[in-house]
Structure 1
Amino acid sequence: MRIAVLGATGPTGIQVVQEALERGHDVIALVRNPEGLGDIKHDKLQIQKVDIFQEKDLSPHLQDCEALLSCLGTRASFLGWTPITFYEDSIKPITSAMRTANLKRLVCMTAACTTRTDGEPKIISYFLRPLFLGNTLKSMSVMEAYLDQECQDVDYTVVRPPGLANTPSSGKPVTAVEGQWVPNGSGRISRRDVAKFMLDTVGSSDWSKKCVAIAMTS
């Protein structure tokens, strides 16, 4: 399978690229800074410098791809001092480029608890949302709503992990539920386990046009 990856130089995106290559996929990494992939070299890996906010810059590289995986992210805003619109701003040129390239499958990563709901973990409600992630989660939520309301022609899956850990894969199955968070799920998950789940999801219709929370459970 030929897979395009956005956010490939980020800590989760790198795991997606490595896992995809280990599975034998052809990977095209679409990045702002090609040097960000470091020493990763592979005969099935192409690296292209792109501006993700320019549809015409993205679409030529999506030709002949069977799926686009996005691990795009941006810095959090402490106490909401800096407005964040990155996620809703980027998804529009991305989906437009997919349409131009006739690419249907999109798997993208946001985060657990993008929208406030009753019963969400207290660490989100009382610490992370008010201090660090409020504007980030809001922008992610707007992006998710855009996919739901404006992109029914796109076969999308939004993956919502909890806190991300720079640890090896647990080697255990990931628990997935449609919703904002996984009840009784752990607060952190290995980025490699997220990458594995995203790649497993590419070829499955189980989570088509859905937002799925993932976590590790005992």
Structure 2
Amino acid sequence: MTRKLSPGRLVIASHNAGKVREITELLGPYGMEPVSAGALGLPEPEETGTTFIANAELKALASATASGLPALADDSGLCVSALGGDPGIYSARWAGETKDFSLAMAKIQEALVAAGPDAPRDAHFICALSLAWPDGHVESFEGRVDGSLVWPPRGDKGFGYDPIFVPQGHAITFAEMDPAAKHAMSHRADAFRQLVAAVF
């Protein structure tokens, strides 16, 4: 049985400013008062899961338990077909300790070049959203958006791998898009629609 979420304070279980901003914008219409795990000084749990959903649940439960408030966590990443689905759940780790995504994007480009001129450039973003309550109850949802990769990176909007990802049916990258246009079609928006339908 799906549990409904009442309006009020909700912890965004993330220390990633871009992700917190995007989720806060998506939550806007639902009477929630988002506060980030970073603002509450909550520790970042080690992501030991082997799937996006496992990691999202781990982060949501850690924040809900530590704060005594419901917590929403997102685990998302870029899966590149020619790289066997990498970086996948390791998308943030490819950016290193300093979270330098220009480094991570260059790493993907190098791997694609090494894979040969005929390597497909198709990729997809996955977003798992988990909503946890302090009593341990969790609801999880997974969204996806397909597209292809370009090089060099283009655009200065968005964050993470957005400058090299062109969603299917479009000619511009997520980082060149107006944020509202990205929100309408992104993997996060897809997972968010499912979450809203279930719990709000």
- Shorter-chain TM range is 0.3 to 0.5
Normalising by structure 2, we get a TM-score of: 0.38
Normalising by structure 1, we get a TM-score of: 0.36
